[in-house]
Chains A and B, each alone.
Chain A
Amino acid sequence: MSTRNLVLSSLFAAIIVALGMLPPIYLAVFAVPITAQSLGVMMAGTVLGAYRAGAAVLIVLVLVAIGLPVLSGGRGGLAVFAGPTAGFLLGWLVGAVVTGYLSEKLVNAEQSGLVQTVSFFLACFIGGVVTVYFFGILYLGIVGGTGISKAFLGSLAFVPGDIFKAVIAALAGRAVMAGYPLLPQRA
Protein backbone atom coordinates (compact mmCIF):
# COMPACT_ATOMS: atom_id res chain seq x y z
CA MET A 1 0.00 0.00 0.00
CA SER A 2 1.43 3.38 -0.95
CA THR A 3 1.87 6.00 1.74
CA ARG A 4 -0.80 8.15 0.10
CA ASN A 5 -3.37 5.33 0.20
CA LEU A 6 -2.46 4.52 3.79
CA VAL A 7 -3.00 8.18 4.72
CA LEU A 8 -6.29 8.41 2.79
CA SER A 9 -7.60 5.29 4.54
CA SER A 10 -6.46 6.56 7.95
CA LEU A 11 -8.07 9.97 7.38
CA PHE A 12 -11.34 8.34 6.40
CA ALA A 13 -11.15 6.11 9.45
CA ALA A 14 -10.79 9.35 11.45
CA ILE A 15 -13.89 10.75 9.70
CA ILE A 16 -15.85 7.61 10.63
CA VAL A 17 -14.72 7.95 14.26
CA ALA A 18 -15.57 11.68 14.29
CA LEU A 19 -19.05 10.96 12.88
CA GLY A 20 -19.65 8.76 15.91
CA MET A 21 -18.81 11.66 18.23
CA LEU A 22 -21.19 14.19 16.72
CA PRO A 23 -24.49 14.50 18.53
CA PRO A 24 -27.02 12.15 16.89
CA ILE A 25 -29.15 13.82 14.26
CA TYR A 26 -32.90 13.75 14.79
CA LEU A 27 -34.92 13.72 11.62
CA ALA A 28 -38.48 14.92 11.58
CA VAL A 29 -39.56 11.98 9.43
CA PHE A 30 -38.34 9.27 11.80
CA ALA A 31 -38.52 9.61 15.54
CA VAL A 32 -35.29 7.65 15.97
CA PRO A 33 -31.90 9.34 16.22
CA ILE A 34 -29.59 8.63 13.29
CA THR A 35 -26.03 7.76 14.26
CA ALA A 36 -23.83 8.73 11.40
CA GLN A 37 -21.18 6.05 11.80
CA SER A 38 -22.63 3.49 9.40
CA LEU A 39 -23.17 6.38 7.01
CA GLY A 40 -19.39 6.91 7.18
CA VAL A 41 -18.85 3.28 6.20
CA MET A 42 -20.95 3.70 3.04
CA MET A 43 -19.25 7.00 2.19
CA ALA A 44 -15.84 5.35 2.53
CA GLY A 45 -16.90 3.07 -0.32
CA THR A 46 -18.31 5.79 -2.56
CA VAL A 47 -15.37 8.16 -2.00
CA LEU A 48 -12.35 5.85 -1.78
CA GLY A 49 -13.24 2.69 -3.73
CA ALA A 50 -13.05 -0.94 -2.58
CA TYR A 51 -9.42 -1.34 -1.49
CA ARG A 52 -8.97 1.86 0.50
CA ALA A 53 -12.50 1.74 1.97
CA GLY A 54 -11.81 -1.76 3.28
CA ALA A 55 -8.56 -0.52 4.82
CA ALA A 56 -10.35 2.46 6.44
CA VAL A 57 -12.99 0.27 8.12
CA LEU A 58 -10.34 -2.27 9.14
CA ILE A 59 -8.44 0.53 10.89
CA VAL A 60 -11.60 1.54 12.80
CA LEU A 61 -12.20 -2.08 13.89
CA VAL A 62 -8.56 -2.43 15.01
CA LEU A 63 -8.92 0.74 17.10
CA VAL A 64 -12.05 -0.73 18.71
CA ALA A 65 -10.22 -3.98 19.44
CA ILE A 66 -7.21 -2.32 21.06
CA GLY A 67 -9.45 -0.56 23.57
CA LEU A 68 -10.18 2.90 22.21
CA PRO A 69 -13.74 4.21 22.62
CA VAL A 70 -14.19 5.06 18.93
CA LEU A 71 -17.68 3.71 18.28
CA SER A 72 -20.74 5.96 18.69
CA GLY A 73 -21.65 6.57 22.32
CA GLY A 74 -18.04 6.03 23.40
CA ARG A 75 -18.21 2.26 22.95
CA GLY A 76 -15.01 0.33 22.40
CA GLY A 77 -12.84 -2.50 23.61
CA LEU A 78 -13.07 -6.21 22.95
CA ALA A 79 -16.39 -6.40 24.84
CA VAL A 80 -18.09 -4.80 21.81
CA PHE A 81 -17.29 -7.93 19.82
CA ALA A 82 -18.96 -10.06 22.50
CA GLY A 83 -22.38 -8.50 21.84
CA PRO A 84 -24.99 -10.24 19.68
CA THR A 85 -24.75 -7.43 17.11
CA ALA A 86 -21.01 -7.89 16.46
CA GLY A 87 -21.90 -9.38 13.06
CA PHE A 88 -22.89 -5.92 11.88
CA LEU A 89 -19.34 -4.70 12.60
CA LEU A 90 -17.88 -7.48 10.47
CA GLY A 91 -20.54 -6.58 7.91
CA TRP A 92 -19.17 -3.01 7.85
CA LEU A 93 -15.83 -4.31 6.57
CA VAL A 94 -17.30 -6.41 3.75
CA GLY A 95 -20.00 -3.81 3.09
CA ALA A 96 -17.45 -1.02 2.58
CA VAL A 97 -15.52 -3.19 0.12
CA VAL A 98 -18.69 -4.11 -1.79
CA THR A 99 -19.89 -0.48 -1.87
CA GLY A 100 -16.46 0.59 -3.11
CA TYR A 101 -16.28 -2.14 -5.74
CA LEU A 102 -19.72 -1.32 -7.12
CA SER A 103 -18.98 2.42 -7.07
CA GLU A 104 -15.85 1.79 -9.14
CA LYS A 105 -17.78 -0.37 -11.60
CA LEU A 106 -21.01 1.61 -11.94
CA VAL A 107 -19.90 5.23 -11.78
CA ASN A 108 -17.70 7.12 -14.19
CA ALA A 109 -17.03 10.79 -14.87
CA GLU A 110 -18.86 10.89 -18.23
CA GLN A 111 -22.28 10.07 -16.76
CA SER A 112 -24.80 12.76 -15.93
CA GLY A 113 -25.18 13.80 -12.29
CA LEU A 114 -28.45 11.93 -11.91
CA VAL A 115 -27.06 8.65 -13.25
CA GLN A 116 -24.05 8.99 -10.95
CA THR A 117 -26.23 9.61 -7.90
CA VAL A 118 -28.54 6.67 -8.67
CA SER A 119 -25.54 4.38 -9.30
CA PHE A 120 -23.95 5.46 -6.01
CA PHE A 121 -27.25 4.76 -4.27
CA LEU A 122 -27.37 1.24 -5.72
CA ALA A 123 -23.78 0.64 -4.57
CA CYS A 124 -24.62 1.92 -1.07
CA PHE A 125 -27.81 -0.12 -0.87
CA ILE A 126 -26.21 -3.41 -1.95
CA GLY A 127 -22.98 -2.84 -0.01
CA GLY A 128 -24.01 -0.77 2.97
CA VAL A 129 -27.47 -2.23 3.62
CA VAL A 130 -27.85 -5.72 2.06
CA THR A 131 -24.30 -6.91 2.76
CA VAL A 132 -24.11 -5.43 6.27
CA TYR A 133 -27.48 -6.94 7.24
CA PHE A 134 -26.51 -10.28 5.74
CA PHE A 135 -23.57 -10.64 8.15
CA GLY A 136 -25.41 -8.99 11.03
CA ILE A 137 -28.45 -11.25 10.74
CA LEU A 138 -26.36 -14.40 10.24
CA TYR A 139 -24.39 -13.69 13.43
CA LEU A 140 -27.46 -12.64 15.41
CA GLY A 141 -29.30 -15.76 14.31
CA ILE A 142 -26.50 -18.20 15.15
CA VAL A 143 -24.61 -16.66 18.08
CA GLY A 144 -27.60 -14.77 19.47
CA GLY A 145 -29.63 -17.96 19.19
CA THR A 146 -32.69 -16.30 17.65
CA GLY A 147 -32.63 -18.29 14.42
CA ILE A 148 -32.06 -16.63 11.05
CA SER A 149 -35.68 -15.91 10.12
CA LYS A 150 -36.51 -14.25 13.44
CA ALA A 151 -33.27 -12.27 13.38
CA PHE A 152 -34.29 -11.09 9.92
CA LEU A 153 -37.74 -9.93 11.06
CA GLY A 154 -36.31 -8.27 14.17
CA SER A 155 -33.78 -6.31 12.11
CA LEU A 156 -36.31 -5.01 9.59
CA ALA A 157 -37.23 -2.10 11.87
CA PHE A 158 -33.80 -0.56 11.30
CA VAL A 159 -33.80 -0.87 7.51
CA PRO A 160 -35.66 2.42 6.69
CA GLY A 161 -33.06 4.46 8.60
CA ASP A 162 -30.24 2.72 6.74
CA ILE A 163 -31.88 3.25 3.36
CA PHE A 164 -32.08 6.93 4.24
CA LYS A 165 -28.34 6.84 5.05
CA ALA A 166 -27.68 5.20 1.67
CA VAL A 167 -29.36 8.20 0.02
CA ILE A 168 -27.19 10.65 2.00
CA ALA A 169 -24.05 8.62 1.24
CA ALA A 170 -24.92 8.58 -2.47
CA LEU A 171 -25.42 12.36 -2.54
CA ALA A 172 -22.20 12.91 -0.60
CA GLY A 173 -20.33 10.49 -2.85
CA ARG A 174 -21.53 12.38 -5.91
CA ALA A 175 -20.66 15.78 -4.38
CA VAL A 176 -17.14 14.65 -3.47
CA MET A 177 -16.69 13.13 -6.93
CA ALA A 178 -17.56 16.48 -8.49
CA GLY A 179 -15.27 18.42 -6.15
CA TYR A 180 -12.29 16.15 -5.50
CA PRO A 181 -12.48 12.88 -7.45
CA LEU A 182 -10.51 10.01 -5.97
CA LEU A 183 -12.51 7.10 -7.32
CA PRO A 184 -11.14 6.76 -10.88
CA GLN A 185 -7.57 6.69 -9.60
CA ARG A 186 -7.41 3.01 -8.76
CA ALA A 187 -5.49 2.10 -5.61
Chain B
Amino acid sequence: MKSLYVETDTILHRLSPRTKLVALAAISVALFFTRSYVLLAAAAAAGAFSYLLVGLPIREALRRLLPVFATIAAVAVFNFAFNSAEEAIVMLLRLTTLMLFAATVTATVTVASFIDEITALARPLERLGVVRAADIGLAAGLVIRFVPEILDRYAAIREAHAARGLKVGFLTVLAPLIILTLRDADNIAAAIDARGFRRQ
Protein backbone atom coordinates (compact mmCIF):
# COMPACT_ATOMS: atom_id res chain seq x y z
CA MET B 1 0.00 0.00 0.00
CA LYS B 2 1.56 3.24 -1.14
CA SER B 3 1.00 6.25 1.09
CA LEU B 4 -0.02 9.62 -0.32
CA TYR B 5 3.22 11.24 0.88
CA VAL B 6 5.19 12.85 -1.95
CA GLU B 7 8.89 12.20 -1.78
CA THR B 8 10.54 15.47 -2.66
CA ASP B 9 12.17 18.25 -0.70
CA THR B 10 10.28 21.54 -0.68
CA ILE B 11 9.89 24.35 1.83
CA LEU B 12 6.60 22.76 2.88
CA HIS B 13 8.30 19.41 3.49
CA ARG B 14 10.83 21.07 5.77
CA LEU B 15 8.24 22.68 8.04
CA SER B 16 7.71 20.59 11.17
CA PRO B 17 4.69 18.24 10.98
CA ARG B 18 3.23 19.76 14.12
CA THR B 19 3.33 23.29 12.69
CA LYS B 20 1.48 22.08 9.60
CA LEU B 21 -1.18 20.21 11.56
CA VAL B 22 -1.80 23.12 13.95
CA ALA B 23 -1.99 25.51 10.97
CA LEU B 24 -4.49 23.21 9.24
CA ALA B 25 -6.65 23.08 12.37
CA ALA B 26 -6.50 26.89 12.68
CA ILE B 27 -7.44 27.35 9.01
CA SER B 28 -10.36 24.95 9.28
CA VAL B 29 -11.81 26.95 12.18
CA ALA B 30 -11.06 30.37 10.67
CA LEU B 31 -12.86 29.49 7.42
CA PHE B 32 -16.16 29.26 9.26
CA PHE B 33 -15.91 32.81 10.68
CA THR B 34 -16.33 34.57 7.36
CA ARG B 35 -18.83 34.59 4.52
CA SER B 36 -16.97 37.16 2.45
CA TYR B 37 -16.45 35.99 -1.14
CA VAL B 38 -13.19 37.94 -1.41
CA LEU B 39 -11.62 36.47 1.73
CA LEU B 40 -12.75 32.92 0.91
CA ALA B 41 -11.57 33.16 -2.70
CA ALA B 42 -8.19 34.45 -1.49
CA ALA B 43 -7.97 31.52 0.93
CA ALA B 44 -8.83 29.05 -1.86
CA ALA B 45 -6.14 30.59 -4.06
CA ALA B 46 -3.61 30.27 -1.21
CA GLY B 47 -4.66 26.65 -0.76
CA ALA B 48 -4.24 25.91 -4.46
CA PHE B 49 -0.83 27.61 -4.43
CA SER B 50 0.41 25.58 -1.45
CA TYR B 51 -0.86 22.34 -3.04
CA LEU B 52 0.95 23.17 -6.28
CA LEU B 53 4.17 23.79 -4.32
CA VAL B 54 4.14 20.18 -3.12
CA GLY B 55 5.66 19.03 -6.39
CA LEU B 56 3.10 16.51 -7.67
CA PRO B 57 2.62 16.26 -11.45
CA ILE B 58 -0.60 18.14 -12.30
CA ARG B 59 -2.49 15.06 -13.51
CA GLU B 60 -1.75 13.08 -10.35
CA ALA B 61 -2.49 16.12 -8.18
CA LEU B 62 -5.95 16.49 -9.75
CA ARG B 63 -6.67 12.76 -9.78
CA ARG B 64 -6.14 12.57 -6.01
CA LEU B 65 -8.61 15.32 -5.25
CA LEU B 66 -11.27 14.33 -7.75
CA PRO B 67 -13.39 12.04 -5.50
CA VAL B 68 -13.54 14.55 -2.62
CA PHE B 69 -14.09 17.47 -4.96
CA ALA B 70 -16.92 15.56 -6.65
CA THR B 71 -18.84 15.32 -3.35
CA ILE B 72 -18.17 19.00 -2.58
CA ALA B 73 -19.39 19.99 -6.06
CA ALA B 74 -22.46 17.74 -5.79
CA VAL B 75 -23.47 19.34 -2.48
CA ALA B 76 -22.80 22.81 -3.94
CA VAL B 77 -25.13 22.05 -6.86
CA PHE B 78 -27.72 20.76 -4.38
CA ASN B 79 -27.39 24.01 -2.39
CA PHE B 80 -27.70 26.07 -5.55
CA ALA B 81 -30.89 24.27 -6.53
CA PHE B 82 -32.62 24.12 -3.14
CA ASN B 83 -31.10 26.90 -1.02
CA SER B 84 -29.38 30.05 -2.22
CA ALA B 85 -26.57 30.75 -4.66
CA GLU B 86 -24.76 32.55 -1.82
CA GLU B 87 -24.83 29.44 0.37
CA ALA B 88 -23.60 27.31 -2.53
CA ILE B 89 -20.63 29.58 -3.31
CA VAL B 90 -19.59 30.04 0.35
CA MET B 91 -19.73 26.29 0.97
CA LEU B 92 -17.88 25.49 -2.27
CA LEU B 93 -15.04 27.93 -1.47
CA ARG B 94 -14.77 26.91 2.18
CA LEU B 95 -14.58 23.18 1.66
CA THR B 96 -12.39 23.42 -1.45
CA THR B 97 -9.90 25.53 0.52
CA LEU B 98 -9.95 23.06 3.37
CA MET B 99 -9.47 20.15 0.95
CA LEU B 100 -6.45 21.82 -0.72
CA PHE B 101 -4.68 22.62 2.56
CA ALA B 102 -5.46 19.16 3.95
CA ALA B 103 -4.08 17.51 0.81
CA THR B 104 -0.95 19.67 1.15
CA VAL B 105 -0.37 18.41 4.69
CA THR B 106 -0.96 14.79 3.64
CA ALA B 107 1.53 15.11 0.77
CA THR B 108 4.27 16.63 2.93
CA VAL B 109 4.11 14.59 6.16
CA THR B 110 5.41 11.01 6.16
CA VAL B 111 3.36 8.21 7.66
CA ALA B 112 6.02 7.75 10.34
CA SER B 113 5.90 11.36 11.51
CA PHE B 114 2.11 11.27 11.44
CA ILE B 115 2.20 8.26 13.76
CA ASP B 116 4.66 10.13 16.00
CA GLU B 117 2.27 13.09 16.22
CA ILE B 118 -0.73 10.90 17.00
CA THR B 119 1.32 9.03 19.59
CA ALA B 120 2.29 12.34 21.22
CA LEU B 121 -1.36 13.40 21.14
CA ALA B 122 -2.38 10.14 22.85
CA ARG B 123 0.15 10.47 25.70
CA PRO B 124 -2.24 12.33 28.04
CA LEU B 125 -4.83 9.58 27.41
CA GLU B 126 -2.18 7.02 28.27
CA ARG B 127 -1.78 8.58 31.70
CA LEU B 128 -5.53 8.14 32.18
CA GLY B 129 -5.12 4.48 31.23
CA VAL B 130 -7.45 4.69 28.20
CA VAL B 131 -4.98 3.67 25.49
CA ARG B 132 -1.34 2.84 25.12
CA ALA B 133 0.14 5.36 22.74
CA ALA B 134 2.61 2.86 21.24
CA ASP B 135 -0.26 0.56 20.23
CA ILE B 136 -1.29 2.99 17.48
CA GLY B 137 1.82 2.25 15.43
CA LEU B 138 1.51 -1.48 16.08
CA ALA B 139 -2.12 -1.54 14.92
CA ALA B 140 -1.27 0.44 11.76
CA GLY B 141 1.52 -2.02 10.98
CA LEU B 142 -0.77 -5.03 11.49
CA VAL B 143 -3.39 -3.66 9.09
CA ILE B 144 -0.85 -2.90 6.36
CA ARG B 145 0.63 -6.38 6.82
CA PHE B 146 -2.69 -8.25 6.64
CA VAL B 147 -4.69 -6.50 3.91
CA PRO B 148 -2.91 -8.34 1.03
CA GLU B 149 -3.33 -11.61 2.92
CA ILE B 150 -7.09 -11.07 3.28
CA LEU B 151 -7.42 -10.25 -0.43
CA ASP B 152 -5.56 -13.48 -1.30
CA ARG B 153 -7.77 -15.44 1.06
CA TYR B 154 -10.89 -13.94 -0.50
CA ALA B 155 -9.74 -15.15 -3.92
CA ALA B 156 -8.84 -18.59 -2.52
CA ILE B 157 -12.26 -19.06 -0.89
CA ARG B 158 -14.00 -18.09 -4.13
CA GLU B 159 -11.91 -20.65 -6.04
CA ALA B 160 -12.60 -23.31 -3.43
CA HIS B 161 -16.34 -22.68 -3.82
CA ALA B 162 -16.11 -22.82 -7.61
CA ALA B 163 -14.04 -26.03 -7.51
CA ARG B 164 -16.79 -27.73 -5.49
CA GLY B 165 -19.44 -26.52 -7.91
CA LEU B 166 -20.98 -24.24 -5.28
CA LYS B 167 -22.56 -20.99 -6.29
CA VAL B 168 -20.11 -18.23 -5.40
CA GLY B 169 -22.16 -15.65 -3.54
CA PHE B 170 -20.84 -12.67 -1.64
CA LEU B 171 -22.39 -13.79 1.64
CA THR B 172 -21.15 -17.37 1.38
CA VAL B 173 -17.59 -16.06 0.99
CA LEU B 174 -17.88 -13.43 3.71
CA ALA B 175 -18.45 -15.68 6.72
CA PRO B 176 -15.50 -18.05 6.08
CA LEU B 177 -13.31 -15.05 5.27
CA ILE B 178 -14.03 -13.44 8.64
CA ILE B 179 -13.67 -16.69 10.59
CA LEU B 180 -10.40 -17.67 8.90
CA THR B 181 -8.95 -14.21 9.43
CA LEU B 182 -9.93 -13.81 13.07
CA ARG B 183 -8.82 -17.33 13.93
CA ASP B 184 -5.23 -16.11 13.40
CA ALA B 185 -5.66 -13.58 16.20
CA ASP B 186 -4.53 -15.89 19.00
CA ASN B 187 -1.32 -16.88 17.22
CA ILE B 188 -0.50 -13.31 16.24
CA ALA B 189 -1.17 -12.08 19.78
CA ALA B 190 1.07 -14.83 21.19
CA ALA B 191 3.82 -13.91 18.73
CA ILE B 192 3.60 -10.22 19.67
CA ASP B 193 3.78 -10.99 23.39
CA ALA B 194 6.61 -13.51 22.94
CA ARG B 195 8.70 -10.82 21.25
CA GLY B 196 7.85 -8.30 23.96
CA PHE B 197 6.67 -5.61 21.50
CA ARG B 198 4.33 -4.19 24.10
CA ARG B 199 6.80 -4.55 26.98
CA GLN B 200 4.47 -6.58 29.15
Contact = CB atoms under 8 A, between A and B. Distances in A.
A joins B in a complex: yes
Interface residues of A, number: 60
B71 A83 contact: yes
| A interface majority secondary structure | helix
5 closest A-B pairs by beta carbon, nearest first, are A77-B106, A175-B175, A66-B114, A78-B102, A10-B142
Which has the most chain B C-beta neighbours within 10 Å: A15, A62, A76, A154?
Answer: A15
B98 A82 contact: yes
A12 B68 CA distance: 25
Interface of A: 1-4, 6-15, 17-18, 21-22, 25, 36, 43, 47, 59-60, 62-63, 65-70, 73, 75-85, 140, 143-147, 150, 154, 168, 171-172, 175-176, 179-180, 182
B181 A11 contact: yes
Interface residues of B, number: 72
Interface in B84-105: 87-88, 90-91, 95, 98-100, 102-103, 105
B109 interface: yes
B147 A17 contact: yes
Interface of B: 1-5, 24, 28, 64-65, 67-68, 71-72, 75, 78-79, 82-83, 87-88, 90-91, 95, 98-100, 102-103, 105-107, 109, 111, 114-115, 118, 131-132, 135-136, 138-140, 142-144, 146-147, 149-151, 154, 170-171, 174-179, 181-186, 188-189, 192-193, 198, 200
B143 A13 contact: yes
B109 A67 contact: yes
A22 to B, nearest CB: 7
A73 to B, nearest CB: 6
Contacts of A82: 28, 68, 95, 98-99, 102
Given A14-B149, A60-B143, 19 more contacts: A4-B189, A6-B139, A8-B182, A11-B181, A14-B143, A18-B150, A25-B170, A59-B139, A67-B3, A67-B4, A78-B24, A79-B65, A82-B98, A82-B102, A143-B95, A146-B79, A150-B83, A171-B171, A179-B179
A95 B64 CA distance: 28
Contacts of B189: 2-4, 6-7
Contacts of A8: 182, 185
9 contacts: A4-B189, A11-B142, A66-B115, A77-B4, A146-B79, A154-B78, A172-B175, A179-B179, A180-B178
Contacts of A67: 3-5, 106-107, 109, 111, 114
Contacts of B193: 3
